[in-house]
């Protein structure tokens, strides 16, 4: 089956063709269907901001290996025991690319994100079909299209961010970074009752989308002083919750500087592996009592994410679509930064 795969590890931004990473469309064998599994004909798989990091070799996978985890599709085959959820052939579904084992220490301790067998079942979604365990699959609401549904996984990440922020209705919130996760989280927080809701983002089109999604304020970090603007918005008190979703080391420390006393700062992007952030523990953790954390994946979030899909404005994220045979061009479009999201249509 056709699959978008990494054939050479390296940065897709590398100007040197000899060392640049490479993505190609290859033929992979179809995955075997186990008795508890579901086979999907993949409709759409969207490119995640983490996919280029996989090309860079962040998880030390050996090429060729397939890409893609933000998947929607239609069930075309069910294993003999895949009956616990009432799924049937023809159902429109999306799901969680991770299969938590359910038996290790962390799964049984309410910490599925640290499952000791987390990557045993990793399957590429930028492909004609994919096989998932029944537990990974969720039937879609009738009023959600398959294009929108491939955003279920990033919507689940936004749900997890709200969970981890532990915020209260009416708290002031800033989001640094207007990529898909930042903009979806902004919408989620708007539903949750965030105030002074602010997006910090250098790209004007993304700031405009934030306003469309209900942001109270936007800040251009290139042409405005983020700390000064934040003080103006919050009357000098800072934001109760700051979500750093850009993954830019330049923005990392600023997130701490605009947080309120007793506030929460979440670093939810995939920062460069080697980056280490300077942190004044006296000022930030002792004197100001900041809570500083991050998130890895989205355990326990998918049932609620399915419920939220019809309540979010997903239309701006599904405008740029490439066929599976143009997977390379799709990654070029993603790397250009021109589009909020790039989708690959896999059922040509």
Of 11, 46, 50, 69, the catalytic one is 50
Note if 336 is an active site residue.
no
C-alpha dist (Å) from residue 251 to 135, 181, 266, 285: 37, 16, 12, 19
Q: Provide the Cα torsion 143, 149, 153, 155; round to 10°.
A: -40
Strands (E), 225-345: 239-244, 259-267, 291-294, 320-323, 342-345
Note if 53 is an active site residue.
yes
State how far the Cα of 230 lies from the Cα of 226, in Å rounded to an integer. 6
Tokens describing residue 29: 């064998």
SS3 category, 216:
coil
Considering only CA atoms, which of 92, 2, 76 is closest in space to residue 37?
A: 76
| Residue 229: CA count within 13 A, CB half-sphere | 20
SS3 category, 212:
helix
Residue 51 contacts residue 21 (beta carbons within 8 Å): no
Of 53, 69, 217, 334, the catalytic one is 53
State how far the Cα of 266 lies from the Cα of 292, in Å rounded to an integer. 6
The catalytic residues are 50, 53
């Amino acid at each position: 089956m056709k699959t978008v795969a990494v054939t050479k590890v390296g940065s897709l931004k590398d100007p040197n063709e000899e060392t640049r990473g490479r993505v190609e469309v290859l033929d992979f064998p179809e995955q075997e269907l186990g008795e508890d599994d579901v086979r999907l004909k993949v409709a759409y798989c969207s490119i995640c901001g983490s996919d280029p990091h996989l090309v860079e070799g962040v998880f030390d996978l050996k090429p060729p290996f397939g890409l893609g985890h933000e998947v929607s599709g239609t069930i075309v085959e069910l294993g003999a025991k895949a009956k616990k959820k009432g799924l049937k052939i023809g159902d429109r579904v999306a799901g969680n690319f991770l299969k938590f084992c359910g038996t290790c220490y962390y799964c049984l301790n309410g910490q599925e994100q640290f499952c000791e067998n987390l990557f045993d079942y990793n399957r590429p979604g930028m492909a004609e079909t994919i096989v998932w365990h029944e537990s990974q699959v969720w039937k879609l609401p009738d009023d959600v299209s398959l294009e929108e549904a491939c955003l279920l996984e990033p919507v689940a990440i936004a749900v997890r961010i709200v969970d981890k922020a532990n915020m209260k209705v009416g708290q002031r919130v800033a989001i640094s970074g207007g990529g898909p996760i930042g903009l979806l989280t902004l919408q989620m927080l708007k539903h949750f009752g965030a105030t002074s809701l602010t997006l910090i983002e250098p790209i004007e089109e993304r700031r405009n989308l934030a306003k469309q999604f209900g942001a109270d304020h936007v800040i251009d970090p290139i042409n405005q002083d983020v700390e000064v603007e934040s003080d103006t918005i919050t009357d000098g008190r800072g934001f109760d919750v700051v979500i750093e979703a850009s993954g830019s080391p330049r923005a990392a420390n600023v997130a701490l500087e605009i947080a309120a006393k007793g506030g929460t700062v979440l670093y939810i992007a995939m920062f460069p592996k080697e980056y280490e952030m300077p942190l004044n523990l006296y000022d930030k953790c002792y004197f100001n009592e900041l809570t500083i954390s991050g998130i890895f994946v989205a355990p326990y979030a998918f049932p609620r994410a399915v419920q939220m899909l019809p309540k979010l404005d997903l239309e701006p994220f599904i405008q740029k679509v490439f066929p599976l045979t143009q997977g390379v061009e799709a990654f070029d479009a993603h790397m250009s930064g021109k589009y909020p999201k790039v989708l690959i249509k896999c059922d040509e």
